[in-house]
Amino acid sequence: MKKYQSALIWVFAFLFTAGLAVYQKMTGPTYPIRSKIQLESSLIKYKLPRSGECGQDMPVKITIADTSVHGEFTYKRYKSNDEWTAVPMIRQGNELVSMIPMQPAAGKVSYKVTLLKNGQQYKLNENQDVVLRFKGSVPLIVLIFHIIAIFGAMLLSTVTCLEAIFQGKNVLRYIWLTVIFFLVGGLILGPVVQKYAFDAFWTGWPFGHDLTDNKTLIGLIFWIIALIVQYRKPGNRSWPVIAGIVFLVVFLIPHSALGSEIDYTKQTPARQSK
């Protein structure tokens, strides 16, 4: 393979991985909902959070300077037998604010926001429930190395796949690097992050159905198979491509989908506000 081809592979792989990083961030169930609603002659932009830190209530803020507009906040614990609780939002300057009651790690709260003006109701998010999950604090250094390792594995996976397609000479080396980065990011640092966030190292198969854990396991299995095949058949190019495609498919599954959550239906209903 010529040097310029190798350089192009790395450039493409980097841009491709960067695009996947943006996709992962924006499609996950903890990414804030951003939208807008027409309130008479005013267009109101808003952001509804879907992730909060344990140890404190989570604020929901709607920026709207018009003091004639009021807000109603309705909430209940997600996956519970609780009744809905409705409270007025508090005006703080140009914002209408309400607080989501703190939950333990993996506890979720469903909520809705309704704006009121001149007797008219304006329901945000088309009146669909927004679900926010609380998580424990993860040390920044652990999170940084986890992210670097995971996206490094995706970068190397793409490079390896393309090297195999274009008959590169470094396929085995890149398979090894992919496996190492994936192992460190997914099966070592991944469980550490999850332990800090949700007090559980592993909630995928065979202990649960967390898609993030399961897709990590599936991706690593295929790369280990590709590594074994490469040693037995050094000229093989099919398995690195297959492993790269599988890794891409599982990577496209939104992060935190079917993640850790508390089933409040097995607990006593929460006391409701009057």
- Residues with Cβ within 8 Å of 67's Cβ and at least 6 positions away in sequence, in order, are 91
Q: Please, what is the average pLDDT of the chain?
A: 88
Q: Which one is predicted more confidently, 200 or 123?
A: 123
pLDDT-wise least confident of 90-94, 157-161, 261-265: 261-265
Spell out the domain ranges in the chain.
3-28+138-251, 33-136
Segment 1-55, tens digit of pLDDT: 567 788 899 999 999 999 988 888 787 778 899 999 998 888 999 999 999 999 8
Question: In the structure, what pLDDT confidence band is assigned to residue 268 with cuts at 50, 70 and 90?
Answer: low
Q: How many CA atoms lie within 13 A of 1 on its CB side?
A: 17
Whether 242 shows a pLDDT value over 90: the answer reads yes
Question: Are 160 and 244 spatial neighbours (Cβ–Cβ below 8 Å)?
Answer: yes
Segment 144-190, tens digit of pLDDT: 999 999 999 999 999 999 999 988 888 999 999 999 999 999 889 98
Whether 125 shows a pLDDT value over 90: the answer reads yes
Q: How many CA atoms lie within 13 A of 4 on its CB side?
A: 0
Whether 65 shows a pLDDT value over 80: the answer reads yes
User: d(Cα 161, Cα 176) in Å, to the nearest integer?
Assistant: 13
The C-alpha angle 138, 133, 52, rounded to 5 degrees, equals 55
The C-alpha angle 251, 157, 165, rounded to 5 degrees, equals 120
For domain 33-136, the CATH superfamily is: Immunoglobulins (2.60.40.10)
Percentage of the chain modeled with pLDDT above 70? 91
pTM to 2 decimal places: 0.80
Position 271 scores a pLDDT of: 42
User: d(Cα 175, Cα 178) in Å, to the nearest integer?
Assistant: 5
Position 160 scores a pLDDT of: 94
Position 82 scores a pLDDT of: 92
Position 259 scores a pLDDT of: 64
